[in-house]
Structure 1
Amino acid sequence: MSDRGRTWPAEARTARDARSGRLVRQVTDHPSIHHHPFFFVPAWDRAMTKLVFVSHRSGTPQVFFEERATGRLVQATDRAGLAEWSVHPSPCGRFVYYTAGTAAFRTDLETFEEEELASFGAVEMREKGMVGAAMGTTALSASGRWWAVPVRTGPVTRFVLIDTEAGAVGIFLERDTIGHPQFCPDDEDLILYAGPMTDRVWLTDRSGAKNRRAYAREDRMQWITHETWIPGRREIAFVDWPRGMQAVHADSGATRWITRFPAWHAVSDAAGSRIVCDTTFPDRGLHLLPVEGDGEASFLCASEASSQGAHWGGPFPYNDGPVAVEAAQHTHPHPRFSPDGSRVVFTSDRTGHAQLYEVLPDEGG
């Protein structure tokens, strides 16, 4: 018997951040791993009726959501082999998309019926490791119609496009590596993705015909990572670790510095006006930054996450090929704004287990 649709009582509790005074709400409290989808993947639907997350409380990673009206926790999936970082909620709040094994699925969050949208055959699906393309993140367009899924097949990665309305499935690009895909929020025919660690920032259209590099490194020790869209600007923000953040325009290629603050995982709000980031080496907590302006960072709240990944504490390590690292992603905060900008979700293992938290950025401080 499936556990899809099973409900759990509310687990939320609140406390004040000791330094900023802001209200922090702990959403989950089960002694197991929890995390939201990823820092550039929405955790809420646009109407903010559901906060989607992954929980290991059943013994395997499964998709859950907090029902915002009641606080109840609802289990949405019961699928073996679910790739926990592939999860992508639909903007309308009806579906959640994910890969499991070598297939792609969606679950209806009202009926809890699961539908297989594509099967990829005998493939690896993801590269080996814990970071970048190995995570298996996927991209859903702003309308919810187009779902882009990187599929590792032998020595190449195939970029598969799924039409979630018509059901068509096709390969539109093949590359040595494709990681962290993201549809432009303002153009559904423009997709950002990460290439090799030494050449990260790439763009393509849905046909694959306009595949191109968006930014080239200045030198072999420049560490470019964590690229994301800035809504309303057709700009790609990226971390120039640990020197700060830059932005490059998708059309003109013009670059600019956003900040010299050592942001780690950083992403804009839906308005394209401010950025939230976490920090490491050292952990200074979560911070807010203006997209335009003086580049000064303001403290949001403590994360107290263990943030595994000792490689972040040294110079760029990937010039001679892949590096094996211990960097369990559920130990990273990965902060993300809500659609209306009123709250930030993040993950922390401060209690000994990774739990989900929310903080209100416009309160206190």
Structure 2
Amino acid sequence: FEEFGLTDRQLLKVRDIKMVAAGTSYYAALLGKYIIEELARIPVEVEPASEFRYRQPIIDQDTLVIGISQSGETADTLAAIREARRCKARVVSVTNVVGSSMALESDGVIYLHAGPEIGVASTKTFIAHITCLYLLGIRLAAVRHRLDPERLRELTAELKALPSAVQLVLDRAEALQALARKYAGHRNFMYIGRGINYPIALEGALKLKEISYLHAEGYAAGELKHGPIALLDRNFPVFAIATQAATLEKMVSNIQEVIARDAPVVALISEGDDTLAEVELDRIEIPPVSEFLSPIPNVVALQLFAYFVASERGCNVDQPRNLAKSVTVE
């Protein structure tokens, strides 16, 4: 990161990390928590910028505050990093716009270099944000000697292979379009995920809401029995992120609970995995990658599904109603 601005010595002094963001960037931050805590073993808290700015956060000079915003002009996130600086915390912003207000008012900046994003709903910049957070996690882990050289080489090779996995998902657009055509008439959707893919469930639901104007909710799959399962019937499809993971057996159990309530299920599964072969549901095969990096190909599939549902419904995908690309006022 050329403009990162923080030295290895300063990074070693970081005791904890606070991430502040809004909307899609907030879900990227939630993913960042999983990434950084696993790689660098630094405690991370994620908070909506709109809440952070109005309370008295417990931060000081040993806290690293990371502001995440595609535009670098999001009003609440900009106010949040200003509050962090007032409290003497070090601030790094992750943004796509060179010279934006957040970039100029931070101690360091990580630029996405994703190019202009025309559509209001963030898609490629969401992927760029989480890619940068993977790289930041690696940097923090390397500084703290949390990654042995072999694991670092493996992780780097896996990251470099991700564009091929994403392309394979894009190549399956016709299958996703067919599923969108099947489900576009439903008014309610639920998305469930576990572990590092829980924020992807939240983001998948948000994308569907933003561009198709359909009601969609994202949940941690283990929370189903704590209320959300009461909603389910044959008119309430559930999107389950069931790619290879340490908790796949638990997700399979969740899917069976959903099917028992007559709710239709669409499952993201790893290509070649027959765990759900005997279960009656719709499947989207995702190229096999490690659980740790699976959010990237998984979210591309959910973005495409939302796009095709919106198209089936005749919605303006690039300029959805009531939304702005950058929210510069409260």
- Pick the TM interval, shorter chain: 0.3 to 0.5
Specify which structure has the higher proportion of strand: 1
TM-score normalized with structure 2 length: 0.33
Specify which structure has the higher proportion of helix: 2
- Higher RCO (CA < 8 A, seq sep 6+): 2
